[in-house]
Amino acid sequence: MAIQFFDPNDPLDINTMLELTDDKVWEMQTTSATNTKGRASGLDRKGDEAAFREHNPRSALNITYKCYATSGLLTLPSVGEIVNGYHIDSWTLVYSPTDFPVLTITTHKHTASTGSHADGSCRTYTATVKLPAQYCIPIQLMFEDGKTKAFDLKNPGIGMRSLSFELTCTHVDETGGCGDWLAGENHDGVETLTAEFTGVPQIPADLAIDASWSNPSESVSEGNTQVNTRSLTLVKHIKHDGTPQEP
């Protein structure tokens, strides 16, 4: 088999999955696969391994994409969705002041003869925040109702150094009598917004944050050879799709 360059395979076929055909398609950047197994081992009377057995093989994928659209909104998958047998565990969208947004999706698939997750078999979680398609970093994010601001930097004298949004949930896999995968399900969807500023915005005078977010961590950095900065991490727990979201 010849060595291949410059043409990574997309196991999720994300643009077909999201039904994207216009300028807001996702362009594949990288994909990496990691295969793992459990290993049962037993020792003999002298403390050396006498036997072993592997079980519950799985393949994990980490895939990155970019979207080059400069207006409108990004179309993003739901966490918990099953695509070609792969369960979408989480995704992270990272904005940069000097680049287009980068989407990283993590997935897993069970590869034993007992099978893997089937389409529609798990609860799914969809982001409640509208994420814009654009070069550089947005200073305002809206919730899905299109009326409520999730995040709003109001002071033009303060810059955005970075902004990332993560959507994840807790995934539980259960094994059968021989240690291979049997079933799986999801609970507790979580959105995490992480922002770093050039300058130290005051809340709410410079930065408005919707009350539905909690603020588990933040930091301020000052120095005699650097600009002052502030970093915030905001967290919001969401219900699975089909259940009314909490206010």
- Predicted pLDDT of residue 244: 55
- Looking at the structure of the chain, the number of domains it has is 1
Return mean pLDDT, the chain.
94
Residue 247 placed within a domain? no
C-beta of residue 89 within 8 angstroms of C-beta of residue 171: yes
3-state helix/strand/coil string of the chain: CCCCCCCCCCCCCHHHHCCCCCCCCCEEEEEEEEEEEEEEEEECCCCCEEEEEEEEEEEEEEEEEECCCCCCECCCCCECCEECCEEEEEEEEEEECCEEEEEEEEEEEECCCCCCCCCCCCCCECCCEECECCCCCCCEEEECCCCCEEEEECCCCCEEEEEEEEEEEEEEEEECCCCCEEEEEEEEEEEEEEEEEEECCCCCCCEEECCCCEEEEEEEEEECCEEEEEEEEEEEEECCCCCCCCC
Structure tokens at 145: 């109702």
d(CA 129, CA 81): 18
d(CA 100, CA 218): 26
- Predicted pLDDT of residue 6: 87
CB atoms closer than 10 angstroms to residue 187: 13
Residue 64 placed within a domain? yes
Residue 36 placed within a domain? no
End-to-end CA distance of the chain: 55
Residue 25 placed within a domain? no
- pLDDT tens-place string over residues 200-210: 999 999 999 99
Residue 60 placed within a domain? yes
- pLDDT tens-place string over residues 2-24: 888 888 889 999 999 999 988 88
Q: Output the pTM of the full model.
A: 0.93
- Predicted pLDDT of residue 245: 54
Residue 4 placed within a domain? no
Residue 244 placed within a domain? no
C-beta of residue 28 within 8 angstroms of C-beta of residue 8: yes
Tell me the percentage of the chain whose pLDDT exceeds 70.
98
- Predicted pLDDT of residue 142: 96
Range of the domain at 161: 52-238
- Predicted pLDDT of residue 146: 86
- pLDDT tens-place string over residues 165-197: 999 999 999 999 999 999 999 999 999 999 999
- Predicted pLDDT of residue 247: 43
- pLDDT tens-place string over residues 83-97: 999 999 999 999 999
- Predicted pLDDT of residue 147: 87
- Predicted pLDDT of residue 166: 98
Asked if pLDDT for residue 243 goes beyond 70, the answer is no
C-beta of residue 95 within 8 angstroms of C-beta of residue 111: no
Residue 243 placed within a domain? no
What size, in residues, is the chain?
Answer: 247
d(CA 247, CA 121): 27
- pLDDT tens-place string over residues 59-82: 999 999 999 999 999 999 999 999
- pLDDT tens-place string over residues 206-235: 999 999 999 888 899 989 998 999 999 999
- Predicted pLDDT of residue 109: 97
